[in-house]
Structure 1
Amino acid sequence: MANNNKPQAPKKPKFNPYWISGALLIALIAFQIFGTGDTNDNKKITPIEFYQILKDGDVKQFDVIKNTGFVKVYLTDAAEKLEKHKKSVSNNFSFSATKTPNYIFQYGSLENFEDKYTSIIDENNLNTVYDNDREENLLSDLLFSLLPFILLIAVWIFIMRRMSGGAGGGAGGQIFNIGKSKAKLFDENTKVKTTFKDVAGLEGAKEEVQEIVDFLKNPEKYTSLGGKIPKGALLVGPPGTGKTLLAKAVAGEAKVPFFSLSGSDFVEMFVGVGASRVRDLFKQAKEKSPAIIFIDEIDAIGRARGKNAMSGSNDERENTLNQLLTEMDGFGTNTNVIVLAATNRADILDKALMRAGRFDRQIHVDLPNLTERRAIFEVHLRPLKKVDGLEVDFLAKQTPGFSGADIANLCNEAALIAARNNKKAVDKQDFLDAVDRIIGGLEKRSNLFSVEEKKTIAYHEAGHATVSWFLEHADPLVKVTIVPRGRSLGAAWYLPQEAFITRTSKFLDEICVTMGGRAAEKIIFNEISTGALSDLENVTKKAKAMVMIYGLNEKVGNITYYDPAGESGFVKPYSENTAELIDNEIKNIVETQYQRALELLESKRDVLDKLAERLIEREVIFKDDLEEILGKRPFDTTSEKPSELLKKENNSKKEEEE
């Protein structure tokens, strides 16, 4: 039988950076003791030689050390320059603050020595200073001479720790471990409380990631049918929609090691560190498989390569990306390591990163719709002290286009407003004020307008409101105000309808409504002001989108010049003639809707004046005031409250069932 118990080679000790510190300390101690000692042969003299030097007046000071039997002799500055004393001047390097003696000797009998030097000093009338009652502590002198070296080494160790960003010992703890991954590990010892129950609204995205979690927990369920684990999933969506929150929920649900880090964690001032950290990250994940790696904001390292060939600053980022591509395509499917990543700039990511076999799935996390906003509100309203009967459906209806982060901010802002007003609970009005605060900015009631300016602003906002009231495809009006908020001097608030497509008629009506403010100024004052800057920016953007992006213009035709990745660079993807045509059509759309607004307001001049007067009087008017002055809106389908609409839907369902 073969003997398998082969003697194992002894393990070599691992290199420790503190060894350098110890070796340096020993070298400095030896240098201090043996290199700068006071027992140099050039400095040793006899008592007779000392008496002669003393008679010549070359001695500035000498100290009699009783406990050692030695005398330290210090020469004057003039004597040190003499040829006979040049060898006594010390040129050795020393950190010591005290001057080294020029000569040293043993005095023998102290009594005879004292009689001799006192008689010489008296006879020659010398000013030599001497200390004949001195003792030295050799240990304290040694410690004092070593103190500068100890401080120097302590500062060096401190700088190394600061550069590495952590304490010694672990990965990344020293500058020698700078290539280690900075990923934060969540495992059975680190409890993550976030679960899928805390993620509201993202039903489709939750289904996708739940399948990944289930695969890690029960791989046999899928592999028995021949399925393979997906290597990566990319969460794509606008900011604040819950991509990172969804990843936290995956960490809480999966119960497997979860490595979390940001794309910028791979970037460092040293060349090659990013690729090294990628290798170390995947090495750790393989050792702890099944595991999940989550890279937030992956666009920091995943941008398309070769876009900026003129600059050499992209080399390090591209090396990091190349290493990530290799690692994702290199480990086998049986290692049970999945890479999750999140970005809101999927259009700029490298194509090699997006191909199947690396990020097999793209999970789109879009802005929540009405039903999803209701669920998100229910999550964020739990910790708030709110009044009884607060309609969550109404709040969801008032916040179209809000992301999950916006809704969380809205609930917090409403609680702050209620506390500011000394309320015991948050009510409906607090939420409406919070919506105004988030969308429009803080009220600026301290701004003092002249009578003429206030009248101009009132007619401007009344023009918006009047035009929107009589156009079929305009969004329903909620309120009009001439109280300045943020950069705006006044505002007309609308409630956009939930829609996934927009027709040409809607675009044109919205442009007409936006130009209604400037049209009202033209009709009333026969001149226009600078207050319509934001309106002009809005209509220009919409008209440009109609012509250049969505192909809604007959003369330009069914063609789009939309370039999300910016691949065209500085070169226009159309000719000069087409550019002139595009400019003319954009201008034509805006001017046509401006004339349309002028005609509409001319026919409604009486109600325009009443609405402006009401605004000047109250500063803020609501839908009820508009119905009183303008009459019932011909195209209104939202006059009933959301709760009433839901009741009617439920009643109709019950009737159908019966």
Structure 2
Amino acid sequence: MANDNKPNPNRVKISPWIIYGAIILIFIFISVATGGQNFSEPAKTTSSKFNSFLEQGAVEKVIIYNKTEAEVYLTAAALKDPKFKAVAKDLLNRPNKGPHFVFDIGNDEIFQKKLETAVAEGKLKDYNFLPKSNWTEILFQLLPILIIAAIWIFIMRRMSGGGAGGGGGQIFNIGKSKARLFDEKTDIKTTFKDVAGLEGAKEEIQEIVEFLKNPEKYTNLGGKIPKGALLVGPPGTGKTLLAKAVAGEAKVPFFSLSGSDFVEMFVGVGASRVRDLFKQAKEKSPAIIFIDEIDAVGRARGKNNMSGGNDERENTLNQLLTEMDGFGTNSNVIVLAATNRADVLDKALMRAGRFDRQIFVDLPDVRERKEIFEVHLAPLKKVEGLDTDFLAKQTPGFSGADIANVCNEAALIAARYDKKAVDKQDFLDAVDRIVGGLEKKNKIVTPEEKKAIAIHEAGHATVSWMLEHAAPLVKVTIVPRGQSLGAAWYLPEERLIVRPDQMLDEMCATMGGRAAEKVTFNRISTGALSDLEKVTKQARAMVTIYGLNDKIGNVTYYDSTGQSEYNFSKPYSEDTAIIIDKEISALIESQYQRAIQLLEDNKDKLNQLADILIEKEVIFKDDLEAIFGKRNFDANLQPETDL
């Protein structure tokens, strides 16, 4: 690959039309060079007809090529004769300069004597015997082959990258690495200052950069520079951003590419690109290689042998393993990789000596979310005194990418209403838009359906307000949003561990919507689909994952390696499956009956809350406090959204 990835402004781009024009000019040149035939082929004739032309004095000159073929040029007077009308004009309807006829001669000596006699009698002006080159015929024979070869090369260039990605754009360089090189000459503006939160991960990554800048600091104590570091975490948490910061901070060459860049339709190309990548890195060592989405090439081997492409991927992985820690490896090359699917990676790739460090990049907590907001709010025109603490509390479970999207969406909403600055309400609307979807105020909802939706959402609000461990509601709306007919915004506590009573309270609050329909109308509807999905997952997790069920006991069927997805059998017997199904159903039904009992005891308040919701369409925490009074359960709560 080229060392400089910047586009070359002096590079001449040749248009295909120029090539087409050049080909046409070549044909014109060939036509002119072969006698100026003005795009007109001479007509075929015979020796007897030529003799009659000669007797009439219609022939001006004759040229014999290779003593076998004669070209006949007619006189100007003969061309005016109607019987020569077919050869008097060329294809462009211009006077034909000749030759006008062509024919094969017999004995050249007899033919020459006939021409000498005609010249002596004044019936012929001139004749000549010439050798004829066949280079034009050879050219026309080779032309189709050349065209086919050019088309093949063009297609192969497109299939191998179309000229992008360094050497991969050339058909003969298809095995070359597609990695981009960043060094001190490359304009990379992302630094560690742009990475908010992630203090532990930043410390680890900064230390790796320091290893390469000042290795003596560590090697003097007998330590060795790590071979690699693997960034693991959910999507959008900043893994690639950390790598960009390394590229911006490191004073060593930084090679960046994706795991899919090793994948190609040709056999052996992936392994060849791995070899070429590490060869380039060793030549520029000390250096850093960053492979984004490494799970594209680093999946566990031997898991799905039914596919033919599996062997090619395994060959690529084997080459990567050898380059990272094998015979002749260079310790001055550090490999960084990022993935959100560490469970599917090969164990040989994860071992110490290849990826010595696994850095978990988790979702940010409330303090880190505040720092991320401050980074993304910097370029926005916002109102004075905007409370970033409040924004951080309104976005639990949001990744760094989600927060960046919130800030951008808030700016778009403010611009939509012609505001001069982005305010607090714009951010709240942006959170609602991202989590719940776009409001559908024009959706047709009958009064009966609106009443049912209001009762359903009021049921959630009532039950969650009365349970100690359930998250109280901050806001409820019955305006259709996205695929939901109503939405409720909760204020949950950010817990590190969860106990059974907390999970049961959450399940009870989730079933509050359907329970409210049962208590009020004595019938239920399909509106509780998302609630049923959520509560079923919680109940199944209690029974089969966390070991929180008395009948199943302290047993988990969770496989942290992710290999169970390849198995066609369950890790428990049929009898145990029956018990699991019964326990899940019993958990859900018990919390459903508990929610019904709570709502029966507070039916008048439920209806009162539903009436306010029908009237205003949106209610807040103050409306709940006016009906139910202050909530007795005081905790350090952070907001969340549930639809």
TM-score grouping bracket, smaller chain normalisation: 0.7 to 0.9
Correspondence for 1:342 among 317, 338, 342: 338
What is the alpha-carbon distance in structure 2 between the residues aligned to residue 177 and residue 100 of structure 1? Answer: 53
Other-structure match for 1:82: none
Aligned match of 1:527: 523
1:477 is displaced (CA, Å) by 1.1
Instruction: Assess, with a 3 A threshold, how the Cα gap between structure 1 residues 604 and 115 changes in structure 2: closer, same or farther.
Output: farther
Give the distance between the partners of 2:308 and 2:160, measured in 1 at CA.
26
Q: Which residue matches 1:327?
A: 323
**How far does the alpha carbon of each residue in 1:42-87 deviate from its partner, in whole angstroms, 9 at most, with x for none?**
xxxxxxx965355799xxxx9977799984379xxxxxxxxxxxxx
Are 1:72 and 2:91 counterparts? no
Q: Secondary structure at the match of 2:168?
A: coil
* Alignment match of 2:612 (pick from 602, 614, 626): 614
CA pair 168-557 structure 1, distance change in 2 beyond 3 A: closer
SS state at 1:384 partner: coil
Q: Quick check: 2:229–2:336 contact (8 Å CA) kept in 1?
A: yes
Q: Which moved more, 1:586-595 or 1:164-173?
A: 164-173
2:104 paired residue number: 103
Aligned match for 1:577, one of 555, 558, 575:
575
The correspondence of residues 227-266 of structure 1 with structure 2, limited to 5 A, is: 227-266=223-262
Q: Which moved more, 1:140-149 or 1:374-383?
A: 140-149
Give the TM-score normalised by structure 2.
Answer: 0.80
CA distance in 2, matches of 1:532, 1:446: 22
SS at match of 1:422: coil
* Structure-2 separation of matches of 1:544 and 1:100: 95
| Alignment match of 1:215 (pick from 186, 200, 211) | 211
Determine the C-alpha separation between the residues in 2 that align with 1:153 and 1:602: 83
Taking a change above 3 Å as real, the CA distance of residues 110 and 242 of structure 1, as seen in their structure-2 partners, is farther
CA contact (8 A) 1:65 1:71 kept: no
Report Cα offsets for 1:461-519 as digits up to 9, x if no partner.
00000000100001121101000111110011102221111111111011101111101
- Matched residue SS, 2:288: strand
Give the letter aligned to residue 348 of structure 1: V
Residue-by-residue CA offset, 1:601-645 (whole Å, 9 max, x unaligned): 00001110110000110100111111112211121446999xxxx
1:185–1:225 CA distance, 2 compared to 1 (3 A): same
1:586 is aligned to: 584
Q: Trace 1:261-276 onto structure 2 (pairs within 5 A).
A: 261-276=257-272
User: Where does structure 1 lack aligned partners over 5 or more consecutive residues?
Assistant: 1-28, 39-48, 75-97, 118-131, 133-137, 642-658
CA contact (8 A) 1:63 1:71 kept: no
Q: Identify which of 165, 170, 174 aligns with 2:161.
A: 165
Say whether 1:452 aligns with 2:448. Answer: yes
User: Counterpart of 1:387 in structure 2: which amino acid?
Assistant: V
Q: Does residue 632 of structure 2 align to residue 631 of structure 1?
A: no
Give the Cα–Cα distance (whole angstroms) in 1 for the partners of residues 249 and 470 of structure 2.
45
Do residues 195 (structure 1) and 191 (structure 2) align? yes
Distance change in 2, residues 1:64/1:216 (3 Å): farther
The percent of aligned pairs where both chains have the same amino acid is 73
Structure 2 counterpart SS, 1:363: strand
Deviations 1:141-196 (A, max 9, x none): 89995994675565455334334435599633421111111111111221311110
CA 1:301–1:65 in structure 2 vs 1: closer, same or farther (change >3 Å)?
farther
Q: Deviations over 1:420-474 (max 9, x none)?
A: 1111100000000000001110001111111110000000000000000100001
| Alpha carbons 1:258, 1:293 under 8 Å: kept | yes
- Say if 2:514 and 2:528, in contact at 8 Å, map to a contact too: yes
Q: Residues 299, 631 of structure 1: CA spacing in aligned structure 2 closer, same or farther, 3 A cutoff?
A: same
Among 556, 563, 572, which residue is 1:566 paired with? 563
Determine if the alignment matches structure 1 residue 310 to structure 2 residue 310: no
Distance in 2 (alpha carbons) for counterparts of 1:404 and 1:143? 67
What CA distance in whole angstroms lies between the structure 1 residues aligned with 2:450 and 2:120? 107
Specify the code of the residue in structure 1 equivalent to 2:226.
P
Q: Is the Cα contact below 8 Å between 1:476 and 1:636 reproduced in 2?
A: no
Asked if the contact 2:465–2:631 (Cα under 8 Å) also holds between the matched residues in 1, the reply is: yes
Distance in 1 separating the partners of 2:571 and 2:559: 9
Alignment partners' CA distance in 2, 1:408 and 1:340: 24
Cα distance in 1, alignment partners of residues 333 and 252 from structure 2: 10
Q: Distance in 2 between matches of 1:108 and 1:279?
A: 76
The whole-number CA distance in structure 1 between the counterparts of 2:203 and 2:302 is 36
Counterpart AA for 1:631: G
Q: Structure 1 residue 379 and structure 2 residue 375: aligned?
A: yes
- State the match for 1:599 in structure 2: 597
AA partner of residue 103 (structure 1): D
The aligned amino acid for 1:363 is I
Equivalent position SS for 1:330 = coil
1:423 matches 2:412? no
Q: Secondary structure at the match of 1:341?
A: strand
SS in 1 for 2:443: coil
Partner of 2:347: 351
Asked if 1 retains the 8 angstrom alpha-carbon contact of 2:494 and 2:638, the reply is no
Instruction: Tell me the distance in 2 between the aligned counterparts of 1:429 and 1:99.
Output: 89
Match of 1:491 in 2: 487
Alignment partners' CA distance in 1, 2:299 and 2:549: 34
Q: Could you report, residue by residue, the CA deviation over 1:80-122 in whole angstroms, capped at 9, with x for unpaired residues?
A: xxxxxxxxxxxxxxxxxx99954268895798599869xxxxx
The alignment's TM-score, normalised by the length of structure 1, stands at 0.78
Q: Is the 8 A contact 1:547 1:586 kept in 2?
A: yes
Q: Using the TM superposition, give the Cα deviation of residue 308 of structure 1 relative to its aligned residue in structure 2, in angstroms.
A: 1.2
Partner of 1:78: none
Alpha-carbon distance between aligned partners in 1 of 2:384 and 2:273, rounded to the nearest angstrom: 53
> Does the residue aligned with 2:430 lie in a helix, a strand or coil?
helix
2:177 to 165, 181, 189: 181
Counterpart mapping for 1:464-543 below 5 A: 464-543=460-539
Q: Please tell me whether residue 553 in structure 1 is matched to residue 554 in structure 2.
A: no
**For residues 393-429 of structure 1, what are the alpha-carbon distances to aligned partners after superposition, in whole Å with 9 as ceiling and x for unaligned?**
0000000000000000000000000101111100000
What do you get for the CA RMSD once the two structures are aligned? 3.4
- Supply the distance in 1 between the matched residues of 2:524 and 2:164 (Cα, whole angstroms): 69
1:231/1:333 contact within 8 Å kept: no
Aligned residue for 1:171, secondary structure, equals: helix
Q: In the alignment, which residue of structure 1 is the partner of 2:278? A: 282
Q: Distance in 2 between matches of 1:63 and 1:388?
A: 101
Q: 1:364 aligns with which of 352, 360, 369?
A: 360
Q: In 1, Cα distance between the equivalents of 2:508 and 2:59?
A: 103
